[in-house]
Chain A
Amino acid sequence: MSDRFLNLGGLAMVAVLVLIVQAPATGQTQRTPWGDPDLQGVYTYETATPMERPEQLGDKEFYTEAEIAEMKAELDEQNAARRAARATISRILDPRVPKTGVTNRTSLIIDPPNGRLPPLTPEAQQLQDERKAERASRNISRVGDGGTVTDDLVYNSWLDLSDYRRCIARVIPRHWALYNHGIQILQTPGYVVIHYESMHDARIIPLDGRPALDASIRQWNGSSRGHWEGTTLVVHMTNKTDKQTWHSWGTANAIEGNTLLPVGNMEFVERLTRIDENAIEYQVTVNDPTTWTAPWTYVMPWRGGDESGDEYKGPEDLFEYACHEGNYRFMENTLKGSRRMLELD
């Protein structure tokens, strides 16, 4: 009996803690005039937190305050140096290291608990190996003066380039960006629209309970349907196209390497919750049993206002991302250059 009593006491304690923890998030819900939770604003999804946790950190989910202070100081120093070195380069291309977005998380991935992507299925692993091998077969190494080795990829066609470089699309959900990481959310009765500056995409999310597009229709940005769960906007995204691969810049800040896996079977559940006046918590669960052996989840802040750094404070800070219109010389040089490399090889 006493054990049970203690357990109940424990449960009650947990309940109280949960209430205390949640209170700031739900205490002052901003609402639209028609009563929906208000997520509107301009935000950035820039982050300094890597998608996957460094393996040596094991199950350590958070850095300590002291560790964070040290990292921030280091970041400021790096930024100052980079900015000084790039003083003559466009500000837009400058912030290679994010000025904001430092959280105490050790990884964006929160599930699995080790903060790392689940293993690939055997089929996905095989496909990835084949695609990596194909890519490697297009690599030309040259030894230059002083013995430096330069690796260049041959692009036989525009189809060897990512949809990003072809200016068609970028994988949504977005999780990191070198630049143009501004987002604008607007709401009208029955809709939430997320305007991504990069690729000038307006992601229109109907809230009226309509079914997803017919399964035969595949789109770069899929089909999105939303509903409210309390103050959280829950979006189901399906109908993605296999023409798109789950790509990223191969940096520590993004998923390791270019996995080149098609996104067509991937389904996403995104949860957007306002956590304070300036920030949205963005949580995404990715599920594709043909690619990964388990679903996985990552979480990141979308920051606005003063928290966004000095770049995306208001709607006028989002500018037109006319990528394709300026892509002629890139394509010409890439494709002609590849032919020339093959001639020289």
Chain B
Amino acid sequence: MRNPPGNLLIVIVASVLVAVAPAAAQDAPYTAPRLVGTENPDLNGIWQALNTANWDLRPHAAAPSAFPILLGAFGAVPPGQSVIEGNEIPYQPWAAEKQRENFEGRFTRPLDLVTNETTGDPETKCYLPGVPRATYLPFPFQVFQTPGQILIAYEYASAIRQIHVGREPPSPNKSWMGWSIGHWEGDTLVVDVTDQMGQSWLDRAGNFYSEAVHVVERYTPISPDHLMYEATIEDPNVFTRPWTIRMPLYRRIEANAELMEFKCIEFVEDFMWGHFIEDSND
């Protein structure tokens, strides 16, 4: 009461701040906490995509499972909008045809015995998923980020990736999960992935790439519990131009969240090897 004008001024300033603050918070980019001992954002945590990209990256309506008489509603395809910038995958004509063949033959037994190449969706065989599919399989994955080295452990098939950061050791050979070299662009972790086997698929719809693929991933924190994930896919053997998928990744915030085992090999052995011990000539 002794100094009412001062108090009034504080109230006015406070009101203005309250009015301005939410707008500022919405406009300003999110700044993530730093990884202890570094200037980089801390991406550690258990993350998971929450979409239907693994069924089809493209826009798709719900569809029955391939075996509705056996499975009923189990295994039916959940509907989803596109995660592709521009909604279309820019296939070369032959590749568009191949994608349709892939889809038709997605449950084909492994390995074409004539060409010695795998056929069917690698996920049905519990094969390592490749990049970017590993990111949006409906399983969590955990990032272990240290200043020079990042390890991503995926629940699906115990898949693993090392990302070398700040150094570029040469790839010794092709591999299913590829060779990953990372660097920081501001608060975005950019990962160049090369030297994949070229037998991985992008989804259950048969979308695919070849061994020439170059994937550039971008992981950007957008809130304490969200990363924005982008992958640009370039493959002159299969596509007419580079194209990009984008999706948020969600932190698994359960107090007891942890990766468990989905070592799916034991679930596919009958499918893969059963015909070797049955009475047949194949």
Contacts and interface: CB of A to CB of B under 8 A. Distances in A.
Bound pair (A, B): yes
Nearest to B111: A328
Interface string A191-202: 101010001111
B160 interface: yes
B198 interface: no
Contact of A332 (B175, B176, B258, B276): B276
B164 interface: yes
Contacts of A325: 127-128, 176, 197
B159 interface: yes
A335 B280 CA distance: 13
Given A34-B36, A199-B158, A332-B276, A166 B260 contact: no
B266 A168 contact: yes
A133 interface: no
A136 interface: no
Interface string B105-128: 000001100000000000001111
Interface in A207-258: 210, 213, 217, 219-221, 243
Contacts of B164: 315-316
A86 interface: no
Interface string B224-258: 00000000000000000000000000000000101
Interface string B1-26: 00000000000000000000000000
Contacts of A187: 146
A331 B258 contact: no
Contact of B175 (A191, A199, A322, A324): A322
Contact of A195 (B127, B160, B197): B160
Nearest to B279: A339
A336 B175 contact: no
Contacts of B151: 184, 186, 193, 195, 202
Interface residues on A, range: 35 or more
Interface in A135-169: 156-158, 166-169
B99 interface: no
Interface string B168-183: 0100110111000000
A290 interface: no
Q: Which of A169, A322, A335, A339 has the most CB of B within 10 A?
A: A322
B153 interface: yes
A318 interface: yes
A103 interface: no
B162 A318 contact: yes
A169 to B, nearest CB: 6
Interface string A60-71: 000000000000
Nearest to B142: A204
A167 to B, nearest CB: 6
A156 B128 contact: no
B40 interface: no
A120 B266 CA distance: 30
Contacts of B173: 319
A320 B175 contact: yes
A188 interface: yes
A322 B159 CA distance: 9
A189 interface: yes
A221 B36 contact: no
A33 interface: yes
Interface in A276-298: none
Contact of A166 (B125, B162, B266): B266
B175 A339 contact: no
Given A325-B176, A339-B277, A168 B149 contact: no
A320 B128 contact: yes
Contact of A335 (B126, B142, B265, B273): B273
Contact of A315 (B149, B175, B265): B149
Contacts of A199: 158
A187 B265 CA distance: 29
A201 B276 contact: no
A40 interface: yes
B96 interface: no
A157 B277 contact: yes
B276 A324 contact: no
A202 B153 contact: yes
Nearest to A324: B265
Interface string A21-39: 0000000000011100000
B212 interface: no
Nearest to B177: A320
B27 interface: no
B169 A166 contact: no
A113 interface: no
A220 B263 contact: yes
A204 B127 contact: no
B269 A200 contact: no
A202 B144 CA distance: 10
A324 B158 CA distance: 12
A168 B265 contact: yes
Contacts of A314: 169
B65 interface: no
A165 to B, nearest CB: 11
25 contacts: A32-B36, A32-B37, A166-B265, A167-B265, A169-B263, A191-B144, A193-B153, A195-B151, A195-B162, A200-B128, A200-B158, A202-B158, A210-B256, A219-B261, A315-B162, A315-B169, A316-B172, A319-B175, A320-B128, A324-B126, A325-B197, A331-B276, A335-B277, A336-B276, A339-B276
Q: Give the 7 A-B CB pairs with smallest separation, nearest first.
A: A33-B37, A316-B169, A202-B153, A335-B276, A320-B175, A219-B261, A33-B36
Given A32-B37, A195-B151, A316-B169, 5 more contacts: A33-B36, A158-B269, A186-B144, A315-B169, A324-B127
